[in-house]
Amino acid sequence: MKSLRRMILAALGLTLVVVVLGAYVRLSDAGLGCPDWPGCYGHATPAQAVSQIRAAESVQPGGPVSLPKAWKEMIHRYLAASLGVLIIAIAIQSWRKRREPGSAPRIATALIGVVVFQGLLGKWTVTLLLKPAIVTGHLLGGLTTLALLAWLALRAFAIGRRPVPNGLLATARLGLLLLAVQIVLGGWTSTNYAALACQDLPLCHGEWLPDTDFGNAFHVVRELGMDADGELLSQQALTAIHWSHRAGALVVGSYLLLLAVLLVRHRALRALGAVLSLALVAQLGLGIANVLNSLPLPLAVAHNAGAALLLLVLVAINHALARDHASRPALGSTHANAYA
């Protein structure tokens, strides 16, 4: 079981690196650094495709293809492929250890399916030229992988249970769902390049309710930067995307703050409540700083990393509460077990 735990921790750390590096690749406009898949102009490394890369760069200087961008993209692919191999090994080992406490072979097997689909999304991200729906789906696939690996790690290292109040599990589950929705909004904002559609705070274009176009903003099947009719996406549509993410941050942030307060009130959950509070404040602060400083790359990447860390905290909270809930005997079961 010790080797399985080590593999799960290694995969969890590698997934976090892949998610954050993926955000860096996207935010530095390197997503098409190698415009084919899985190689780079048919080669295993950009070093073997220097002539093709230079030719593309000469046609479009400052465009999506350059040698540095190609290396960013390919390093991300190498790490993602390594993660896929590691997850397959985890699934195999989980089935071998399926009778030991803490093993979850079904979740490990489900992870293989997630990673395979994630690989396809990575391919389509390139071959379909950064379609917002595909890029956002790719981000969500990475975070789903992170969440499932976190659950595996928590299960593998699970320790004693402590009683918690009834109803708190449902509250935490709703918090995780709301965070997932907010992450979708954040991914949609980033992939549509709408992060600076509103550059003032707390207003947007000097108004609480700016002029928006929600119809085109959230039309899923379309090209990057285009509306459903193939016209350039309007400023009103970009504003709608940004404003929705900002409003979501207010709603979800308020709810998670309430959850943190409820957790802190109980000694067994105080540490989780404190960590949730710190992660939430940091993430909100990074969001505000990105707007005020016109989206510098380090802050933008940190904001993506903050979302991943906040997701890990919510998964840990739900795992702790779910384990306690599962440990409670049903009414009358104590007496029944006494005679078993």
CA–CA separation, 30 and 65 (whole Å): 7
Task: Please write the tens of the pLDDT for every residue from 148-168.
Answer: 999 999 998 875 455 666 689
Binning pLDDT at 50, 70 and 90, where does residue 322 land? Answer: confident
Find the Cα–Cα–Cα–Cα dihedral 191, 196, 197, 199, rounded to 10°. 160
Residues 73-91 have a mean pLDDT of 97
Residues 261-272 have a mean pLDDT of 92
Task: Please write the tens of the pLDDT for every residue from 125-145.
Answer: 999 989 999 999 999 999 999
| ∠ Cα 303 79 53 (to 5°) | 90
Encoded tokens for 173: 């589950």
Q: What HEC string does the chain produce?
A: CHHHHHHHHHHHHHHHHHHHHHHHHHHCCCCCCCCCCCCECCECCHHHHHHHHHHHHHHCCCCCCCHHHHHHHHHHHHHHHHHHHHHHHHHHHHHHCCCCCCCCHHHHHHHHHHHHHHHHHHHHHHHCCCCHHHHHHHHHHHHHHHHHHHHHHHHHCCCCCCCCCCCHHHHHHHHHHHHHHHHHHHHHHHHCCCCCCCCCCCCECCECCCCCCHHHHCCCCCCCCECCCCCECCHHHHHHHHHHHHHHHHHHHHHHHHHHHHHHCCHHHHHHHHHHHHHHHHHHHHHHHHHHCCCCHHHHHHHHHHHHHHHHHHHHHHHHHHHHHHHCCCCCHHHHHHCC
Find the Cα–Cα–Cα–Cα dihedral 79, 85, 86, 88, rounded to 10°. 150
Of 323 and 209, which is predicted with more confidence? 209
CA–CA separation, 102 and 5 (whole Å): 9
CA–CA separation, 133 and 220 (whole Å): 6
Binning pLDDT at 50, 70 and 90, where does residue 334 land? Answer: very low
Q: Are 134 and 128 in contact (CB under 8 A)?
A: yes
Would you say residue 325 has pLDDT above 60? Answer: no
CA–CA separation, 131 and 136 (whole Å): 9
Enter the pTM of the model: 0.91
Task: Please write the tens of the pLDDT for every residue from 26-35.
Answer: 999 999 999 9
CA–CA separation, 105 and 107 (whole Å): 6
Task: Please write the tens of the pLDDT for every residue from 205-234.
Answer: 999 999 999 999 999 989 999 998 899 999
Q: Which residues are catalytic?
A: 73
